[in-house]
């Protein structure tokens, strides 16, 4: 503290241990000490203000135990407490505390408490701190708008993890397999324009937050392959009942039912065989009575087609009926070729019986369905590789009357 002119202090590659004194970090927070390093990457020294320490931020707690905050920072902290609660934001070591301090002390955007994107930027920072240092799914830059934070280039991912609308509101958040660890964050409720949320294949714990009932623009939500437990709140299910949330997936399948959900698209719905009267909200009332195997198929197909399956006369409904009731192959919900056979059948249904350009045949692999001789066609419409995986599809000019609103999937791929 007596080194009044100190600008650079390099202490790494030694055998120092323990915690960096807060007096030293206060020099950093004041802008006097601009470069400080220690052996914190080897977990020998804990330093919340060293520039080479991952996931750490300047310490704003001096010796007296009280926050040494500017008026702007105090107002921001009070605002963030409204979203996350006082304990989470002020308890050192929580992701909320790290994100709050990053916003207040590191972020060069210098938001104030009334900034319209304060909650949004804070929430994305919080999610970043929930990821392990070796598995960050996006880069967090203090000098960039959060809508411009890109997927990490060394992760092999080429698609966006974060996408915003024209007003810079986050509407798409795909954070599957990002190593997110800890309670599922209720702060995501602040992303009120979100229409796609994928938090699957992480290490999230706890219950689906009641606060997610506020995500009225959400259309797709994937939470499976985590460690979530308990009941999905009825008010979150109300989003499904209102036909707002079309796809909602959790770990609620038989044999892996850690989550109880009466409205998830992949979950068997007990005691609801009759379904609602209009037949458009996840019911099976337009199908003959379904046995457990057929119900599992329906729930699986809803993952890619939603409630179109339940509307009589749609190609989705007719294709699902063929798979469950007419096809002698009798595929199960876990069959690796279920999606492939369903999508090819669906394409045939879209063209109508008279204009269909291939012959659908029960009990025969879709790879062997033959072209119909319309217009003297002699070439194959469908071709598969040696493993039976569809690799060629030529259906030009014969599909009409419907919008193609799905993605052709690999036989072994959920998405």
395: how many CB neighbours lie within 10 A of its CB?
A: 16
Q: What pLDDT score was predicted for residue 55? A: 47
In the prediction, which pLDDT does 398 show? Answer: 42
Q: Can you give the pLDDT at residue 60? A: 44
Distances in Å between the Cα of 342 and the Cα atoms of 142, 267, 304, 338, 356 are: 47, 19, 10, 6, 16
Report how far residue 376's alpha carbon sits from residue 258's, in angstroms, rounded to the nearest whole number.
56
Asked if the structure places residue 364 within a domain, the reply is yes
Q: Token pair for residue 214?
A: 């506020």
Given strand 247-249, what is the order of strands in its sheet?
A: 162-164, 170-174, 196-198, 220-222, 247-249
* pLDDT value of position 158: 64
Backbone phi and psi for residue 58, each to the nearest 5 degrees, phi listed first: -55, 140
Q: Which residue is associated with the tokens 């135990």?
A: 65
pLDDT of residue 377: 59
What pLDDT sits at residue 31?
Answer: 72
* Residue 144 resides in a domain: no
Q: Residues 49, 58: contact at Cβ < 8 Å?
A: yes
Cα distance between residue 96 and residue 74, in whole Å:
15
The string of DSSP codes covering 367-400 is: GGPPBP-GGG--S-SEEE-TTS-EEEE--TTT--
Mean pLDDT in consecutive groups of 10 residues from the start of the chain, 415 residues: 85 88 79 83 75 56 54 93 93 93 93 94 97 90 94 70 93 93 95 93 94 91 92 90 80 77 73 37 49 82 82 85 88 88 89 70 88 63 88 66 40 36
Hey, what are 56's tokens? 């750490």
- Domain assignment present for residue 227? The answer is no
Q: Which pTM does this prediction carry?
A: 0.56
Residues 6+ apart with CB under 8 A from 352: 401
Q: From the CB of residue 13, how many other CB atoms can be counted at a distance below 10 Å?
A: 10
Is position 138 within any domain? no
Residue 100 is assigned to a structural domain of this protein: no
Quick check: is 314 in a domain?
Answer: yes
Specify the pLDDT at position 64. Answer: 38
| In a domain? residue 247 | no
Q: Which residue has the tokens 């460690």?
A: 227
Residue 283 lies in a domain: yes
Chain Cα centroid distance, residue 217: 15
What local confidence, expressed as pLDDT, does residue 165 receive? 92
pLDDT value for 396: 65
Question: What are the helix and strand counts (H, E) for the chain?
Answer: 9, 16
Number of domains forming the structure of the chain: 1
User: Which domain range does residue 373 map to?
Assistant: 272-415
């Amino acid at each position: 503290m007596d080194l009044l002119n100190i600008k650079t202090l390099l202490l790494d590659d030694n055998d120092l241990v323990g915690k960096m004194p807060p007096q030293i970090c206060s020099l950093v927070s004041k802008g006097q000490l601009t470069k400080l390093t220690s052996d914190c990457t080897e977990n020998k020294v804990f330093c919340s203000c060293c520039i080479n320490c991952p996931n750490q931020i300047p310490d704003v707690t001096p010796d007296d135990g009280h926050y040494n905050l500017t008026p702007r920072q105090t107002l921001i902290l009070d605002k963030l407490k409204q979203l996350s609660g006082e304990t989470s934001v002020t308890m050192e070591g929580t992701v909320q505390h790290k994100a709050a301090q990053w916003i207040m002390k590191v972020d060069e955007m210098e938001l104030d408490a009334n900034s319209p994107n304060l909650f949004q930027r804070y929430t994305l920072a919080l999610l970043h701190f929930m990821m392990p240092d070796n598995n960050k799914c996006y880069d967090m830059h203090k000098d960039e708008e959060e809508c411009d934070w890109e997927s990490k280039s060394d992760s092999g991912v080429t698609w966006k993890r974060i996408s915003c609308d024209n007003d810079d509101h986050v509407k798409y958040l795909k954070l599957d397999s990002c190593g997110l660890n800890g309670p599922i964050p209720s702060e995501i409720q602040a992303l009120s324009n979100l229409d796609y949320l994928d938090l699957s294949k992480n290490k999230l714990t706890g219950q689906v937050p009641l606060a997610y009932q506020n995500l009225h623009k959400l259309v797709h939500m994937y939470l499976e392959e985590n460690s979530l437990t308990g009941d999905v709140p009825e008010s979150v299910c109300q989003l499904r009942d209102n036909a707002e949330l079309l796809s909602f997936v959790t770990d609620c399948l038989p044999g892996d039912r850690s989550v109880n959900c009466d409205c998830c698209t992949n979950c068997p719905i007990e005691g609801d065989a009759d379904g609602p009267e209009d037949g458009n909200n996840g019911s099976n009332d337009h199908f003959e009575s379904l046995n457990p195997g057929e119900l599992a198929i329906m729930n699986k197909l809803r993952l890619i087609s939603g409630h179109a399956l339940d509307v009589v006369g749609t190609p989705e409904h007719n294709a699902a009926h063929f798979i469950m009731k007419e096809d002698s192959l009798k595929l199960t919900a876990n069959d690796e070729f279920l999606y492939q056979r369903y999508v090819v059948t669906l394409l045939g249904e879209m063209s109508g019986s008279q204009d269909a350009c291939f012959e659908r045949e029960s009990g025969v692999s879709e790879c062997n369905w033959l072209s119909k001789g319309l217009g003297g066609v002699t070439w194959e419409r469908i071709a598969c590789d040696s493993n039976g995986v569809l690799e060629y599809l030529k259906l030009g000019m014969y599909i009409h009357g419907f919008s193609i609103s799905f993605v052709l999937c690999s036989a072994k791929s959920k998405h």
